[in-house]
Amino acid sequence: MSQTEIWAQFRDQMPITKKWAYFDNGAVAPLSAPARDAMSDWARTAADDGDTIWLEWLGGAERTRQAAASLLNATTGEIALVPNTTAGISLVAEGFRWNEGDNVVIPANEFPSNAYPWLNLSSRGVETRRVSSDGAAVSLDRLAEACDERTRILAVSWVGYATGWRIDVSELVRMAHDRGVLVMLDAIQGLGLFPLDVRQTGVDFVAADGHKWMLGPEGAGILYLRQEHLANLRPLCVGWNSVVHAGDYSKIELRLRDAASRYEGGSNNMAGLLGLGASLELLASLGLSADASPLAQRVAQITELACDRLETIGARIVSSRDEEHRSGIVAFDLPGRDLAAERKCCLEAGVVLSCRGGNLRISPHAYVNEEDVDRLIEVLKR
């Protein structure tokens, strides 16, 4: 099968394409058809059969855990199913065994989800050091300079939400580990598009909701934590599902699971997790794995085409286009024009994009095609 046929089949699995030219996966992605069907099936059976098939739902959620583990080259015991990126980061921030005077280092331009959980530690005597950057770039050298003997965690977004700057995770981890610092990676803007091998990179913690590049619903995400770090984190959100004898409600004995699933204290979002799992299986069928991603190559082609076309109508591309740092996000300016009004005109014409950081932002997934780019350009030319 040719690449053209593969991407056409992927596009057929995305109902959004029948109506919209969708360039906003970096905000909230549309559901894939498999995710829609999985969630619809759950709703139907929940209405028709109640909990008589709860074990089937549980099995589906466990398949989602396995799909997430395969995507990262992790073990299932290192994956917790969490509501969102914030929850995953907060489990690490609040669970870490801090001492007064410790510090955490983050870039100053982080998305709030990777800032507030750390800033909230000030009452425990933990300093959050916010490192400034020049423009879109995140300087690993500046982050290194901010670390000292009391730095415990370096928390960084894999891909910046505003301009799409993508860091080299292996280099980041090497720099941090050389200083005895652990790495928390906010992966929501990269996971589902770029490969990430937690064994090869050595990253300590990864959190990502599924509603962007993984094409799942909001409220269903994953947290990876290296098995050895279970002992470094205080158990939080502990409940009936956290213990080795989960389901035996008459036995009250605090024997926690020796796995990341200990953080899934209560009932999970079954519908959301089933939908996320269905989309992860779709992405895996397209070649996405811990060490390879034809999806990223396809998105690079689409974003390069979009950048070339945008420049012909006077746009100024803000995002890096270097292969090492580019991502699925492209920020651009249209000098002298009202960007909010431009976005509104696009929506009225069936083209979806965002305003972020004083720029327009497109974030096409691999199901976007050349005709979608044409629609975008034609609206912005008017």
Q: Name the domain boundary from 242, 263, 285.
A: 285
Report angle CA 12, 366, 305 to the nearest 5 degrees. Answer: 120
Q: Answer yes or no: is 224 within a domain.
A: yes
| Structure confidence by residue, pLDDT tens digits, 318-375 | 999 999 999 999 999 999 999 999 999 999 999 999 999 899 999 999 999 999 999 9
The verdict on 185 and 313 lying in the same domain is: no
| Structure confidence by residue, pLDDT tens digits, 41-89 | 999 999 999 999 999 999 999 999 999 999 999 999 999 999 999 999 9
pTM: 0.97
User: How many domains would you assign to the chain?
Assistant: 2
The verdict on 13 and 70 lying in the same domain is: no
The verdict on 105 and 195 lying in the same domain is: yes
Going by C-alpha positions, the residue among 101, 263, 146 that lies closest to residue 156 is 146
Percent of the chain with pLDDT over 70: 100
Q: How far apart are CA 30 and CA 310, in angstroms?
A: 24
Q: What are the CA-CA distances from residue 121 to residues 34, 94, 96, 117, 219 (Å)?
A: 40, 8, 11, 7, 24
Q: How far apart are CA 82 and CA 86, in angstroms?
A: 9
Range of the domain at 321: 3-23+293-381
Using a 10 angstrom Cβ sphere, with 0-12 exposed, 13-18 middle and 19 or more buried, the burial of residue 24 is: buried
The verdict on 73 and 170 lying in the same domain is: yes
Q: Answer yes or no: is 33 within a domain.
A: no
Range with the poorest average pLDDT among 81-95, 107-121, 133-147, 311-325: 133-147
Q: Name the domain boundary from 238, 268, 285.
A: 285
* pLDDT of 136 higher than 90: no
The verdict on 226 and 301 lying in the same domain is: no
The verdict on 98 and 137 lying in the same domain is: yes
**Both tokens assigned to 91:** 């489990």
The verdict on 214 and 332 lying in the same domain is: no
The verdict on 200 and 253 lying in the same domain is: yes
The predicted pLDDT at position 83 comes to 97
Report angle CA 278, 73, 79 to the nearest 5 degrees. Answer: 65
Q: Answer yes or no: is 66 within a domain.
A: yes
Q: Answer yes or no: is 197 within a domain.
A: yes
* pLDDT of 1 higher than 80: no
